[in-house]
Amino acid sequence: MPNIPHNLQTIGAEIAECCKPVNRAFGHVQLLAVSKRHGVDAIKQAYDAGQRAFGENYVQELVEKAQALKSLDIEWHFIGALQSNKSKDIADIADWVHTIDRLKIARRLSEQRPAELPPLNVCLQLNVNNEESKSGVGLSELEALAEAVSKLPNLKLRGLMAIPEATHDEATQRANFALVAAAKDTLNAKGYELDTLSMGMSSDMPAAIAEGATIVRIGTAIFGART
Ligand SMILES: *Cc1c(COP(=O)(O)O)cnc(C)c1O
């Protein structure tokens, strides 16, 4: 059994270490605990250790966990590929969606967001390296999508999310994350007010933080290997 409270502490310390050399405040990098394919007991252990933001990739799993844990003050982030026919559940439950890559799904989420809930926080997923196998909007279509999404009444456009090409070369990791950060700066120069960069996982967290990540998404290093 992984020691979840201990792992959370270790990662918190690692985030702090990553912030130092680049003069960033520790409090500006949020740890998103990616709990996909781990049970509600694991989530409760992390919650009891003070973790509040959890990320899930599968709609049905999120629905079941949110139901089982509804007495807890959890912030749910949906970080998986979202199909239109499942958007209603996400609009009902999630606080954040990181993976908006087309207008159709954004429109549905806005229409389906219950009136009594605050606007759904969303990030646009950027396909930085234009990889065929990955979802995400290309750089050339990003601004048009941002413009359309920012007009939807029940969504709040917060920033960009990316999963760059897998590589162990830190210079390449940084160059890719820098592209995402630059895309956010370009949009902000045009009047957007994006405050979020969701980027960095266990294998590339230092590079992501160095380039301005505000949310890092970590699963295995907290909860252990997925079955
Ligand atoms: C699973 C997942 C993570 C976490 O990955 P780990 O390797 O378990 O840390 C982060 N982001 C996304 C989008 C994921 O699907």
Residue 12 sits in which domain range?
4-223
Report whether residue 135 contacts ligand 1, using a CB cutoff of 6 Å.
no
Closest CA to 53 of 121, 117, 108, 146: 121
Amino acid 227: pLDDT: 78
| pLDDT tens sequence across 152-211 | 999 999 999 999 999 999 999 999 999 999 999 999 999 999 999 999 998 999 999 999
Neighbours of 112 (CB within 10 A): 15
- For residue 98, give the ligand 1 atom closest to its CA: 13
% of the chain beyond a pLDDT of 70: 100
For the chain, the average pLDDT equals 97
pLDDT over threshold 90, residue 79: yes
Tell me what percent of the chain is helix, strand and coil, each rounded to the nearest 5.
45, 20, 35
Choose the residue to mutate in 31, 79, 133, 204 for probing ligand 1, maximizing ligand atoms within 8 Å of C-beta.
79
Choose the residue to mutate in 32, 34, 202 for probing ligand 1, maximizing ligand atoms within 8 Å of C-beta.
34
In angstroms, rounded to a whole number, what is the distance separating the alpha carbons of residues 142 and 129?
Answer: 14
Q: Categorize the per-residue pLDDT at 133 as very low, low, confident or very high, splitting at 50, 70 and 90.
A: confident
As given in the structure block, the two tokens for residue 172 are 């390449």
Model pTM score: 0.97
CATH of residue 179's domain is 3.20.20.10
Total domains in the fold of the chain = 1
Average pLDDT over residues 20-44: 96
Report whether residue 220 contacts ligand 1, using a CB cutoff of 6 Å.
yes
Closest CA to 196 of 20, 28, 82: 28
Amino acid 149: pLDDT: 98
pLDDT over threshold 90, residue 1: no
126 in Cβ contact with 160 (< 8 Å): yes
Average pLDDT over residues 122-139: 94
Report whether residue 97 contacts ligand 1, using a CB cutoff of 6 Å.
no
